[in-house]
């Protein structure tokens, strides 16, 4: 019997707390539902699995995939955790409009979309919760990022704003919704950045000067806590001020760069309530908190300042 299933997952932005979240401080992230990854699984007469990712120029067989191939890893992990005896007889096609290596959770979104499609194909979607999907996606993230915080897979799998704090024995994960959505302009620097490398460099700096970096992480954690309160109160001015403060601490961590600082400054001058880099930094994207009346001017200012693309999305 011919069978075809499709599943999608959103991108994400970190509103507060990137990098510090790896060291046990809270962070807040939100899904960007406008940007999505899609996975289609379709039955075939082939005993193998055909992997197709047109955006990446990938077309090959699962049996011949490299050990670190993310699509192969996602399928093998899903098979193992869900006790599927054998993989074969279908094709997996992945497409995404989320830029790779841009801090928008592209990897997590693709993983979650593939896992959701896999569950649907094997009729397991109804019995698998978002927490299990998130846990599976986290295992894939570990393969690519070394020590990811867990926030990407969480916000992408839950598709809601998430307050996240790494702790033992279980991470603190609280899903919440603001009284009104936040409108963000997301500005793409056009510079790709590998999360693993930036996270590793922050770790090296932390090992070299723990006292200073613990103070920086504490400050970012306090901003995230205050940010949650400001979001819950609908106090957009306070949210914007806290975003500005968070960016200054990220500059202290050396994870910003001239292009990001230029876009952040341009957004603020054009009337954004606040702006900061979002994600690992040293490239990727920045975000600006805007309102309907400043949307056009901030978008134009970001493009004029060198952003290669700007998306506007309501999050929350």
Domains annotated on the chain, with CATH: 4-176 (3.30.230.10), 182-315 (3.30.70.890)
Cα(first)–Cα(last) distance of the chain, in Å?
A: 40
Q: Which of 91, 12, 4 is nearest to 45 (CA)?
A: 91
Which tokens belong to 140?
């894939």
Contact by Cβ (8 Å): 20, 299: no
Angle at 188 between CA 183 and CA 189, to 5 degrees: 140
Tell me the angle at which helices 210-233 and 236-252 cross, rounded to the nearest 10 degrees: 170
Q: Which of 118, 136, 95, 137 is nearest to 5 (CA)?
A: 118
Most confident by average pLDDT, 77-91, 144-158, 159-173, 261-275? 261-275
What pLDDT score does 39 carry? 98
The runs of H, that is alpha helices, within the chain are: 70-81, 106-121, 130-145, 151-158, 195-208, 210-233, 236-252, 258-269, 295-304
Which pLDDT tens digit goes with each residue over 292-312?
999 999 999 999 999 999 999
Higher pLDDT: 145 or 159? It is: 159
Taking the C-alpha atoms of residue 128 and residue 250, their distance in angstroms, rounded to an integer, is 37
Q: What is the mean pLDDT of the chain?
A: 93
Taking the C-alpha atoms of residue 37 and residue 97, their distance in angstroms, rounded to an integer, is 6
Which tokens belong to 8?
């999608």
Which tokens belong to 92?
């997996």
Taking the C-alpha atoms of residue 298 and residue 184, their distance in angstroms, rounded to an integer, is 10
> Backbone phi, then psi, for 160, in 5-degree steps?
-145, 165
| Residues catalogued as catalytic | 152
Which of the four pLDDT bands, split at 50, 70 and 90, describes residue 145?
A: low
What pLDDT score does 296 carry? 98
Contact by Cβ (8 Å): 28, 39: no
Which of the four pLDDT bands, split at 50, 70 and 90, describes residue 45?
A: confident
What is the arithmetic mean of pLDDT over 199-218?
Answer: 97
pLDDT at 163 over 90: yes
Taking the C-alpha atoms of residue 208 and residue 155, their distance in angstroms, rounded to an integer, is 32
Taking the C-alpha atoms of residue 10 and residue 103, their distance in angstroms, rounded to an integer, is 13
Taking the C-alpha atoms of residue 305 and residue 144, their distance in angstroms, rounded to an integer, is 32
Distances (CA, A) of 106 to 81, 148, 216, 244: 23, 14, 27, 25
What is the arithmetic mean of pLDDT over 120-144?
Answer: 90
pTM to 2 decimal places = 0.86
Which tokens belong to 306?
């060198």
């Amino acid at each position: 019997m011919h069978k075809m299933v499709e599943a999608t997952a959103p991108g994400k932005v970190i509103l507060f707390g990137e990098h510090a979240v790896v060291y046990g401080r809270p962070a807040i992230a939100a899904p960007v539902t406008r940007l999505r990854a899609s996975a289609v699984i379709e039955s075939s007469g082939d005993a193998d699995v055909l992997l197709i990712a047109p955006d990446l120029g990938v077309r090959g067989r699962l049996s011949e995939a490299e050990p670190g191939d993310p699509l192969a890893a996602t399928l093998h992990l899903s098979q193992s955790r869900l006790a599927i005896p054998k993989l074969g007889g279908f094709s997996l096609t992945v497409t995404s409009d989320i830029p790779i290596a841009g801090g928008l959770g592209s990897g997590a979104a693709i993983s979650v979309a593939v896992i959701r499609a896999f569950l649907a194909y094997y009729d397991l979607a109804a019995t698998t919760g978002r927490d299990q999907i998130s846990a599976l996606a986290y295992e894939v993230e570990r393969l690519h990022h070394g020590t990811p915080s867990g926030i990407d897979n969480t916000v992408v799998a839950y598709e809601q704003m998430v307050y996240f704090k790494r702790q033992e024995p279980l991470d603190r994960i609280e899903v919440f919704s603001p009284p009104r959505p936040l409108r963000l302009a997301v500005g793409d620097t056009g510079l790709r950045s590998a999360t693993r490398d930036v996270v590793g460099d922050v770790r090296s700096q932390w090992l070299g000067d723990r006292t200073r970096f613990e103070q920086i992480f504490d400050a970012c954690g306090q901003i995230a806590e205050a940010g949650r309160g400001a979001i819950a109160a609908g106090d957009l001015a306070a949210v914007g001020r806290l975003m500005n403060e968070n960016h200054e601490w990220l500059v202290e961590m050396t994870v910003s760069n001239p292009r990001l600082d230029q876009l952040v400054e341009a957004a603020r001058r054009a009337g954004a309530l606040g702006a900061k880099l979002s994600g690992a930094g040293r490239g990727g994207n920045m975000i600006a908190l805007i309102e309907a009346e400043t949307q056009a001017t901030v978008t134009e200012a970001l493009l004029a300042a060198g952003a290669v693309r700007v998306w506007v999305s309501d999050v929350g």
